[in-house]
Protein backbone atom coordinates (compact mmCIF):
# COMPACT_ATOMS: atom_id res chain seq x y z
CA UNK A 1 0.00 0.00 0.00
CA UNK A 2 1.32 3.45 -0.96
CA UNK A 3 2.33 6.05 1.63
CA UNK A 4 3.01 9.77 1.59
CA UNK A 5 6.24 11.11 3.04
CA UNK A 6 5.75 14.74 3.98
CA UNK A 7 8.41 17.16 5.20
CA UNK A 8 6.43 19.85 6.96
CA UNK A 9 6.94 23.52 7.61
CA UNK A 10 6.40 25.16 4.22
CA UNK A 11 3.50 27.56 3.68
CA UNK A 12 1.40 26.63 0.65
CA UNK A 13 1.45 29.30 -2.04
CA UNK A 14 -0.17 29.48 -5.46
CA UNK A 15 -3.25 28.17 -7.23
CA UNK A 16 -5.06 24.86 -7.22
CA UNK A 17 -8.07 23.74 -9.24
CA UNK A 18 -10.69 21.48 -7.69
CA UNK A 19 -12.37 18.65 -9.57
CA UNK A 20 -15.94 17.43 -9.75
CA UNK A 21 -17.67 16.30 -6.55
CA UNK A 22 -17.18 12.59 -5.84
CA UNK A 23 -20.37 12.41 -3.80
CA UNK A 24 -22.39 13.96 -6.63
CA UNK A 25 -20.75 11.89 -9.38
CA UNK A 26 -21.42 8.55 -7.63
CA UNK A 27 -25.25 8.79 -7.47
CA UNK A 28 -25.32 10.46 -10.89
CA UNK A 29 -23.46 7.48 -12.35
CA UNK A 30 -26.00 5.20 -10.65
CA UNK A 31 -28.83 7.27 -12.14
CA UNK A 32 -27.60 6.51 -15.67
CA UNK A 33 -29.12 3.05 -15.10
CA UNK A 34 -32.57 4.65 -15.34
CA UNK A 35 -32.40 4.94 -19.14
CA UNK A 36 -31.30 2.76 -22.05
CA UNK A 37 -29.99 5.87 -23.82
CA UNK A 38 -26.43 7.18 -23.47
CA UNK A 39 -25.62 9.68 -20.72
CA UNK A 40 -22.52 11.84 -21.04
CA UNK A 41 -21.22 13.11 -17.70
CA UNK A 42 -18.53 15.76 -17.55
CA UNK A 43 -16.17 16.92 -14.78
CA UNK A 44 -16.03 13.46 -13.24
CA UNK A 45 -13.06 13.26 -10.85
CA UNK A 46 -10.39 10.67 -11.52
CA UNK A 47 -10.75 8.68 -8.30
CA UNK A 48 -10.69 5.03 -7.34
CA UNK A 49 -14.30 5.24 -6.03
CA UNK A 50 -15.44 6.43 -9.47
CA UNK A 51 -13.58 3.61 -11.25
CA UNK A 52 -15.17 1.25 -8.80
CA UNK A 53 -18.67 2.54 -9.57
CA UNK A 54 -17.90 2.20 -13.31
CA UNK A 55 -16.97 -1.46 -12.70
CA UNK A 56 -20.25 -1.98 -10.84
CA UNK A 57 -22.24 -0.47 -13.73
CA UNK A 58 -20.36 -2.73 -16.17
CA UNK A 59 -21.05 -5.76 -13.98
CA UNK A 60 -24.76 -4.93 -14.32
CA UNK A 61 -24.50 -4.87 -18.12
CA UNK A 62 -23.89 -1.16 -18.86
CA UNK A 63 -21.23 0.06 -21.33
CA UNK A 64 -18.92 2.62 -19.75
CA UNK A 65 -16.39 4.76 -21.62
CA UNK A 66 -13.84 7.10 -20.04
CA UNK A 67 -12.45 10.09 -21.93
CA UNK A 68 -10.48 12.19 -19.44
CA UNK A 69 -12.98 13.75 -17.06
CA UNK A 70 -15.94 12.68 -19.23
CA UNK A 71 -17.72 9.37 -18.74
CA UNK A 72 -20.34 8.03 -21.13
CA UNK A 73 -22.64 5.31 -19.82
CA UNK A 74 -25.13 3.36 -21.87
CA UNK A 75 -27.26 0.90 -19.91
CA UNK A 76 -29.05 -0.65 -22.89
CA UNK A 77 -29.74 -3.96 -21.21
CA UNK A 78 -29.36 -4.59 -17.53
CA UNK A 79 -29.48 -7.34 -14.97
CA UNK A 80 -30.77 -6.63 -11.49
CA UNK A 81 -28.24 -8.65 -9.51
CA UNK A 82 -25.00 -6.88 -8.68
CA UNK A 83 -21.67 -8.59 -8.04
CA UNK A 84 -21.69 -9.21 -4.29
CA UNK A 85 -18.01 -8.57 -3.59
CA UNK A 86 -17.72 -5.56 -5.86
CA UNK A 87 -20.70 -3.73 -4.32
CA UNK A 88 -19.89 -4.70 -0.74
CA UNK A 89 -16.55 -2.88 -0.90
CA UNK A 90 -17.93 0.61 -1.44
CA UNK A 91 -20.67 2.07 0.73
CA UNK A 92 -21.73 4.55 -1.98
CA UNK A 93 -22.73 1.66 -4.25
CA UNK A 94 -26.01 1.28 -2.30
CA UNK A 95 -27.43 4.00 -4.56
CA UNK A 96 -27.83 1.52 -7.45
CA UNK A 97 -30.76 0.01 -5.52
CA UNK A 98 -33.32 2.72 -6.40
CA UNK A 99 -32.49 2.89 -10.15
CA UNK A 100 -32.45 -0.91 -10.57
CA UNK A 101 -35.80 -1.24 -8.82
CA UNK A 102 -37.32 1.58 -10.90
CA UNK A 103 -36.08 0.25 -14.22
CA UNK A 104 -36.27 -3.54 -13.75
CA UNK A 105 -38.79 -3.80 -10.88
CA UNK A 106 -36.29 -5.99 -9.07
CA UNK A 107 -32.90 -5.47 -7.51
CA UNK A 108 -30.52 -7.59 -5.51
CA UNK A 109 -27.64 -5.64 -4.03
CA UNK A 110 -25.16 -6.71 -1.37
CA UNK A 111 -25.77 -5.12 1.99
CA UNK A 112 -23.21 -2.39 2.66
CA UNK A 113 -21.64 -3.08 6.04
CA UNK A 114 -20.85 -0.60 8.79
CA UNK A 115 -17.62 1.28 8.41
CA UNK A 116 -14.94 2.92 10.44
CA UNK A 117 -16.94 6.18 10.85
CA UNK A 118 -20.06 4.56 12.27
CA UNK A 119 -22.77 1.90 11.91
CA UNK A 120 -24.25 3.47 8.75
CA UNK A 121 -27.65 1.74 8.63
CA UNK A 122 -29.86 1.78 5.51
CA UNK A 123 -33.25 1.55 7.27
CA UNK A 124 -34.40 4.89 5.82
CA UNK A 125 -33.51 3.82 2.25
CA UNK A 126 -35.61 0.68 2.72
CA UNK A 127 -38.47 2.55 4.44
CA UNK A 128 -38.70 4.89 1.45
CA UNK A 129 -38.66 2.13 -1.15
CA UNK A 130 -41.29 0.18 0.81
CA UNK A 131 -43.49 3.31 0.90
CA UNK A 132 -43.38 3.29 -2.92
CA UNK A 133 -44.76 -0.26 -2.90
CA UNK A 134 -41.59 -2.38 -3.08
CA UNK A 135 -41.26 -5.48 -1.00
CA UNK A 136 -37.79 -5.48 0.48
CA UNK A 137 -36.00 -8.13 2.48
CA UNK A 138 -32.50 -8.79 3.66
CA UNK A 139 -31.35 -12.31 2.94
CA UNK A 140 -27.94 -13.93 2.74
CA UNK A 141 -26.15 -10.60 2.94
CA UNK A 142 -28.22 -9.13 0.09
CA UNK A 143 -30.95 -6.52 -0.03
CA UNK A 144 -33.62 -8.00 -2.30
CA UNK A 145 -36.29 -5.59 -3.52
CA UNK A 146 -39.10 -6.17 -5.99
CA UNK A 147 -42.39 -4.64 -7.07
CA UNK A 148 -44.94 -5.02 -9.83
CA UNK A 149 -44.99 -1.23 -10.26
CA UNK A 150 -43.71 1.50 -7.98
CA UNK A 151 -46.49 3.84 -6.89
CA UNK A 152 -45.99 7.43 -5.70
CA UNK A 153 -46.47 8.08 -2.01
CA UNK A 154 -45.64 10.44 0.83
CA UNK A 155 -42.34 9.53 2.49
CA UNK A 156 -40.70 11.06 5.57
CA UNK A 157 -36.93 10.49 5.48
CA UNK A 158 -35.73 12.24 8.65
CA UNK A 159 -33.66 9.98 10.90
CA UNK A 160 -32.00 10.19 14.30
CA UNK A 161 -29.21 12.34 12.87
CA UNK A 162 -31.30 14.27 10.36
CA UNK A 163 -31.94 13.53 6.69
CA UNK A 164 -30.01 10.90 4.75
CA UNK A 165 -28.14 11.91 1.60
CA UNK A 166 -27.91 8.57 -0.22
CA UNK A 167 -31.27 7.46 1.22
CA UNK A 168 -32.91 10.52 -0.36
CA UNK A 169 -31.00 9.74 -3.59
CA UNK A 170 -32.30 6.16 -3.66
CA UNK A 171 -35.93 7.09 -3.04
CA UNK A 172 -35.74 9.99 -5.51
CA UNK A 173 -34.31 7.73 -8.23
CA UNK A 174 -37.06 5.18 -7.62
CA UNK A 175 -39.81 7.84 -7.55
CA UNK A 176 -38.95 9.40 -10.92
CA UNK A 177 -40.32 6.30 -12.71
CA UNK A 178 -43.11 5.52 -10.22
CA UNK A 179 -46.80 5.84 -11.04
CA UNK A 180 -48.15 9.15 -9.69
CA UNK A 181 -46.79 11.69 -7.26
CA UNK A 182 -44.21 11.13 -4.52
CA UNK A 183 -43.53 13.70 -1.82
CA UNK A 184 -40.28 13.25 0.08
CA UNK A 185 -40.34 15.15 3.38
CA UNK A 186 -37.11 15.84 5.29
CA UNK A 187 -35.15 15.25 2.09
CA UNK A 188 -31.42 15.92 2.27
CA UNK A 189 -30.48 19.37 0.93
CA UNK A 190 -26.78 18.68 0.34
CA UNK A 191 -25.55 20.20 -2.95
CA UNK A 192 -24.64 16.69 -4.16
CA UNK A 193 -28.28 15.58 -3.78
CA UNK A 194 -29.46 18.75 -5.50
CA UNK A 195 -27.02 18.00 -8.33
CA UNK A 196 -28.52 14.53 -8.70
CA UNK A 197 -32.01 16.06 -8.88
CA UNK A 198 -30.83 18.45 -11.62
CA UNK A 199 -29.26 15.54 -13.50
CA UNK A 200 -32.53 13.57 -13.28
CA UNK A 201 -34.45 16.64 -14.49
CA UNK A 202 -32.12 16.83 -17.49
CA UNK A 203 -33.15 13.21 -18.24
CA UNK A 204 -36.82 14.26 -18.28
CA UNK A 205 -37.76 13.66 -14.62
CA UNK A 206 -40.39 15.97 -13.09
CA UNK A 207 -39.09 17.18 -9.73
CA UNK A 208 -40.03 20.33 -7.86
CA UNK A 209 -38.67 21.74 -4.60
CA UNK A 210 -35.07 20.92 -5.58
CA UNK A 211 -32.71 22.15 -2.85
CA UNK A 212 -35.47 22.21 -0.22
CA UNK A 213 -36.45 19.55 2.37
CA UNK A 214 -39.66 18.80 0.44
CA UNK A 215 -39.22 17.18 -2.96
CA UNK A 216 -42.30 16.57 -5.11
CA UNK A 217 -41.80 14.06 -7.88
CA UNK A 218 -44.32 13.32 -10.60
CA UNK A 219 -43.39 9.96 -12.06
CA UNK A 220 -42.85 9.68 -15.83
CA UNK A 221 -42.99 6.58 -18.05
CA UNK A 222 -39.38 6.80 -19.16
CA UNK A 223 -36.27 8.95 -19.02
CA UNK A 224 -33.92 9.83 -21.85
CA UNK A 225 -30.17 10.23 -22.26
CA UNK A 226 -28.51 13.53 -21.39
CA UNK A 227 -25.27 15.49 -21.11
CA UNK A 228 -24.40 16.94 -17.73
CA UNK A 229 -21.55 18.55 -15.78
CA UNK A 230 -21.01 17.59 -12.14
CA UNK A 231 -20.68 20.38 -9.50
CA UNK A 232 -17.24 21.22 -8.05
CA UNK A 233 -16.18 19.26 -4.98
CA UNK A 234 -16.94 21.43 -1.94
CA UNK A 235 -15.07 19.10 0.41
CA UNK A 236 -11.91 19.18 -1.70
CA UNK A 237 -12.25 22.98 -1.82
CA UNK A 238 -12.60 23.19 1.96
CA UNK A 239 -9.62 20.87 2.45
CA UNK A 240 -7.30 23.13 0.39
CA UNK A 241 -8.72 26.23 2.10
CA UNK A 242 -7.87 24.78 5.52
CA UNK A 243 -4.46 23.61 4.25
CA UNK A 244 -3.68 27.19 3.21
CA UNK A 245 -4.77 28.52 6.61
CA UNK A 246 -2.95 25.80 8.55
CA UNK A 247 0.38 26.32 6.77
CA UNK A 248 0.09 30.12 6.95
CA UNK A 249 0.30 30.51 3.18
CA UNK A 250 -1.91 32.02 0.49
CA UNK A 251 -3.78 29.79 -1.93
CA UNK A 252 -6.30 30.60 -4.64
CA UNK A 253 -8.69 27.73 -5.24
CA UNK A 254 -10.14 27.78 -8.75
CA UNK A 255 -13.17 26.05 -10.24
CA UNK A 256 -14.98 26.05 -6.89
CA UNK A 257 -18.52 26.97 -5.89
CA UNK A 258 -18.17 29.14 -2.75
CA UNK A 259 -21.98 29.22 -2.43
CA UNK A 260 -21.81 25.61 -1.22
CA UNK A 261 -19.37 26.54 1.54
CA UNK A 262 -21.02 29.25 3.63
CA UNK A 263 -20.65 27.35 6.92
CA UNK A 264 -16.96 26.54 6.32
CA UNK A 265 -16.08 30.06 5.15
CA UNK A 266 -17.90 31.52 8.13
CA UNK A 267 -15.94 29.33 10.59
CA UNK A 268 -12.64 30.12 8.88
CA UNK A 269 -13.36 33.84 9.16
CA UNK A 270 -14.29 33.41 12.82
CA UNK A 271 -10.90 31.70 13.24
CA UNK A 272 -9.23 34.82 11.82
CA UNK A 273 -8.51 33.38 8.38
CA UNK A 274 -8.93 35.76 5.42
CA UNK A 275 -11.20 34.32 2.76
CA UNK A 276 -11.96 36.27 -0.41
CA UNK A 277 -14.54 35.12 -2.93
CA UNK A 278 -14.23 36.09 -6.56
CA UNK A 279 -16.73 34.23 -8.74
CA UNK A 280 -15.62 30.61 -8.84
CA UNK A 281 -12.34 31.38 -7.06
CA UNK A 282 -11.58 31.51 -3.38
CA UNK A 283 -8.37 33.02 -2.00
CA UNK A 284 -7.41 31.96 1.50
CA UNK A 285 -4.60 33.36 3.67
CA UNK A 286 -3.74 33.78 7.29
CA UNK A 287 -1.98 37.06 8.00
CA UNK A 288 -2.97 37.20 11.70
CA UNK A 289 -2.81 34.72 14.60
CA UNK A 290 -5.57 32.08 14.57
CA UNK A 291 -8.50 32.25 17.00
CA UNK A 292 -10.03 29.09 18.45
CA UNK A 293 -13.60 28.33 17.41
CA UNK A 294 -16.15 25.67 18.32
CA UNK A 295 -17.57 23.57 15.52
CA UNK A 296 -20.64 21.31 15.40
CA UNK A 297 -21.28 19.21 12.32
CA UNK A 298 -24.80 19.33 10.92
CA UNK A 299 -26.70 18.44 7.77
CA UNK A 300 -26.36 21.03 4.98
CA UNK A 301 -26.27 24.08 5.21
CA UNK A 302 -24.50 23.45 8.53
CA UNK A 303 -20.82 22.62 8.94
CA UNK A 304 -20.13 19.39 6.97
CA UNK A 305 -19.03 16.23 8.77
CA UNK A 306 -16.65 15.65 5.85
CA UNK A 307 -14.63 18.72 6.91
CA UNK A 308 -14.60 18.02 10.68
CA UNK A 309 -11.23 16.23 10.76
CA UNK A 310 -9.47 18.89 8.66
CA UNK A 311 -10.88 21.67 10.88
CA UNK A 312 -9.63 19.80 13.94
CA UNK A 313 -6.08 20.06 12.57
CA UNK A 314 -6.46 23.82 12.27
CA UNK A 315 -7.66 23.99 15.87
CA UNK A 316 -4.69 21.95 17.15
CA UNK A 317 -2.52 24.81 15.82
CA UNK A 318 -4.63 27.50 17.49
CA UNK A 319 -3.88 28.61 21.05
CA UNK A 320 -6.90 28.08 23.32
CA UNK A 321 -9.60 25.45 23.62
CA UNK A 322 -11.89 24.42 20.82
CA UNK A 323 -14.81 22.00 21.10
CA UNK A 324 -15.56 20.03 17.97
CA UNK A 325 -18.84 18.13 18.11
CA UNK A 326 -19.74 15.41 15.61
CA UNK A 327 -23.51 15.07 15.16
CA UNK A 328 -23.70 13.00 11.96
CA UNK A 329 -21.48 9.92 12.46
CA UNK A 330 -20.91 8.58 15.97
CA UNK A 331 -17.37 7.22 15.49
CA UNK A 332 -15.86 9.78 13.21
CA UNK A 333 -12.87 10.51 15.42
CA UNK A 334 -10.32 7.95 14.18
CA UNK A 335 -7.93 10.78 13.37
CA UNK A 336 -7.73 11.86 17.03
CA UNK A 337 -5.34 9.09 18.10
CA UNK A 338 -3.13 9.63 15.06
CA UNK A 339 -3.02 13.41 15.56
CA UNK A 340 -1.91 12.69 19.15
CA UNK A 341 1.15 10.87 17.71
CA UNK A 342 2.13 14.18 16.14
CA UNK A 343 1.76 15.97 19.48
CA UNK A 344 -1.85 17.20 19.40
CA UNK A 345 -3.68 17.42 22.74
CA UNK A 346 -7.25 16.25 22.14
CA UNK A 347 -9.65 14.57 24.59
CA UNK A 348 -12.83 12.82 23.54
CA UNK A 349 -15.98 13.40 25.59
CA UNK A 350 -18.95 11.63 24.00
CA UNK A 351 -19.65 13.23 20.63
CA UNK A 352 -17.19 16.07 21.29
CA UNK A 353 -13.46 16.45 20.91
CA UNK A 354 -11.86 18.98 23.21
CA UNK A 355 -8.82 20.37 21.47
CA UNK A 356 -6.19 22.15 23.55
CA UNK A 357 -4.53 23.97 20.73
CA UNK A 358 -1.31 25.82 20.17
CA UNK A 359 1.07 22.89 20.63
CA UNK A 360 3.72 22.49 17.96
CA UNK A 361 3.41 19.26 16.00
CA UNK A 362 6.33 17.03 15.15
CA UNK A 363 6.35 14.48 12.34
CA UNK A 364 5.78 10.77 12.97
CA UNK A 365 4.49 7.70 11.09
CA UNK A 366 0.66 7.72 11.13
CA UNK A 367 -2.04 5.48 9.73
CA UNK A 368 -4.87 6.76 7.54
CA UNK A 369 -8.20 5.24 8.64
CA UNK A 370 -10.88 6.79 6.42
CA UNK A 371 -10.96 9.31 3.62
CA UNK A 372 -11.35 12.58 5.53
CA UNK A 373 -9.22 11.44 8.47
CA UNK A 374 -6.46 10.78 5.92
CA UNK A 375 -6.79 14.30 4.54
CA UNK A 376 -6.48 15.65 8.07
CA UNK A 377 -3.27 13.68 8.63
CA UNK A 378 -1.80 15.08 5.41
CA UNK A 379 -2.66 18.62 6.56
CA UNK A 380 -1.07 17.94 9.95
CA UNK A 381 2.03 16.57 8.18
CA UNK A 382 2.32 19.78 6.16
CA UNK A 383 2.71 21.83 9.35
CA UNK A 384 4.53 19.35 11.61
CA UNK A 385 8.29 19.77 12.06
CA UNK A 386 10.35 17.00 10.44
CA UNK A 387 8.96 14.08 8.50
CA UNK A 388 5.51 12.53 8.63
CA UNK A 389 4.74 9.26 6.91
CA UNK A 390 1.03 8.80 6.20
CA UNK A 391 0.45 5.10 5.56
CA UNK A 392 -2.50 3.47 3.73
CA UNK A 393 -3.23 6.45 1.52
CA UNK A 394 -5.50 4.38 -0.71
CA UNK A 395 -8.23 6.00 1.41
CA UNK A 396 -7.14 9.39 0.05
CA UNK A 397 -7.07 8.16 -3.53
CA UNK A 398 -10.76 7.28 -3.10
CA UNK A 399 -11.70 10.93 -2.74
CA UNK A 400 -8.87 13.35 -3.60
CA UNK A 401 -7.64 13.50 -7.16
CA UNK A 402 -3.79 13.68 -7.31
CA UNK A 403 -3.56 15.27 -3.89
CA UNK A 404 0.23 14.80 -3.77
CA UNK A 405 0.73 16.50 -7.17
CA UNK A 406 -1.64 19.37 -6.35
CA UNK A 407 0.16 19.98 -3.04
CA UNK A 408 3.60 19.78 -4.71
CA UNK A 409 2.50 22.53 -7.11
CA UNK A 410 1.64 24.65 -4.06
CA UNK A 411 5.18 24.16 -2.76
CA UNK A 412 4.65 21.28 -0.34
CA UNK A 413 7.35 18.66 0.11
CA UNK A 414 5.27 15.52 -0.29
CA UNK A 415 6.24 12.30 -2.05
CA UNK A 416 4.27 9.17 -2.81
CA UNK A 417 6.14 6.03 -1.84
CA UNK A 418 4.82 2.94 -3.61
CA UNK A 419 3.91 0.11 -1.24
CA UNK A 420 5.09 -3.44 -1.55
Q: Is 357 in the site for ligand EPU (CB under 6 A)?
A: no
Q: Is 125 in the site for ligand EPU (CB under 6 A)?
A: yes
Q: Which of 8, 20, 167, 191 binds ligand EPU (CB under 6 A)?
A: 167
Q: How far apart are the first and last CA of the chain?
A: 6
Q: How far is CA 196 from the centre of its chain?
A: 13
Judged by beta carbon, residue 327 or residue 406, the one nearer ligand EPU is 327
Judged by beta carbon, residue 26 or residue 324, the one nearer ligand EPU is 26
CA pair distance 124, 175, nearest whole angstrom: 15
**Smallest distance from ligand EPU to CB 125, Å:** 5
Judged by beta carbon, residue 102 or residue 188, the one nearer ligand EPU is 188
Q: Is 191 in the site for ligand EPU (CB under 6 A)?
A: no
Q: Which of 124, 176, 207, 245 binds ligand EPU (CB under 6 A)?
A: 124
DSSP 131-172: HTT-EEEEETTEEEEE-SS-B--EEE--BTTB--HHHHHHHH
| 147 among known catalytic residues | no
- Binding string, residues 79-98; x marks residues near ligand EPU by CB under 6 A: -------------x------
Q: Is 26 in the site for ligand EPU (CB under 6 A)?
A: yes
Which runs of consecutive H residues, i.e. helices, occur in 60-154? 84-88, 97-104, 123-131
Q: Which of 88, 89, 120, 291 binds ligand EPU (CB under 6 A)?
A: 120
Q: Is 122 in the site for ligand EPU (CB under 6 A)?
A: yes
**Smallest distance from ligand EPU to CB 137, Å:** 16
Which runs of consecutive H residues, i.e. helices, occur in 287-354? 308-316, 334-341
Q: Is 166 in the site for ligand EPU (CB under 6 A)?
A: yes
Cβ atoms of 297 and 310 within 8 Å: the answer is no
Judged by beta carbon, residue 47 or residue 410, the one nearer ligand EPU is 47
**What residues numbered 170-189 form the site for ligand EPU, per CB under 6 A?**
188
DSSP 248-299: T-EEEEES--GGGGHHHHHHHHHTT-EEEEETTEEEEE--S------EEB-S
Q: Which of 177, 371, 382, 412 binds ligand EPU (CB under 6 A)?
A: 371
Cβ atoms of 93 and 56 within 8 Å: the answer is yes
Q: Is 409 in the site for ligand EPU (CB under 6 A)?
A: no
Q: Is 328 in the site for ligand EPU (CB under 6 A)?
A: yes
411 torsion bin: left (phi>0), alpha (psi -120 to 50), beta (else): left
Q: Which of 53, 56, 143, 165 binds ligand EPU (CB under 6 A)?
A: 165
**What residues numbered 215-274 form the site for ligand EPU, per CB under 6 A?**
none
Instruction: Tell me 32's DSSP state.
Output: G
**Smallest distance from ligand EPU to CB 351, Å:** 11
Residue of 39, 108, 115, 161 marked catalytic: 115
CA pair distance 33, 149, nearest whole angstrom: 17
Question: With CB under 6 A, what is the number of residues at the site for ligand EPU?
Answer: 27
CA pair distance 290, 277, nearest whole angstrom: 20
Cβ atoms of 147 and 177 within 8 Å: the answer is no
Q: How far is CA 383 from the centre of its chain?
A: 25
Q: Residue 12: which residues within 8 A CB-CB, separation 6 or more?
A: 243, 244, 247, 249, 250, 251, 382, 407, 410, 411, 412
**Smallest distance from ligand EPU to CB 105, Å:** 22
**What residues numbered 283-322 form the site for ligand EPU, per CB under 6 A?**
305-306
Query: Which positions touch ligand EPU (CB under 6 A)?
Result: 23, 26, 92, 118, 120-125, 159-161, 164-167, 188, 190, 192, 305-306, 328-329, 371-372, 399
Q: Could you give the residue numbers annotated as active site?
A: 115
Amino acid sequence: MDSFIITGGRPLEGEVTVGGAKNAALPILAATLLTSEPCVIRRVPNLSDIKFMAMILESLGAEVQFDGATITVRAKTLRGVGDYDLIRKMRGSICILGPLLARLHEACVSMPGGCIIGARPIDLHLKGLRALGASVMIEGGYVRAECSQLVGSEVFLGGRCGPTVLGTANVLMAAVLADGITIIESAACEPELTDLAHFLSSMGAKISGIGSPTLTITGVRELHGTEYEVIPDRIETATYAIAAAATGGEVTIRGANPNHLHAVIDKLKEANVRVERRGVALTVRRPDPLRSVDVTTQPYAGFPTDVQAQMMVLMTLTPGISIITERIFESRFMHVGELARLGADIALEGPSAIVKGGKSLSGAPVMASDLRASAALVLAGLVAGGQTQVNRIYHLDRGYESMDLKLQRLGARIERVPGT
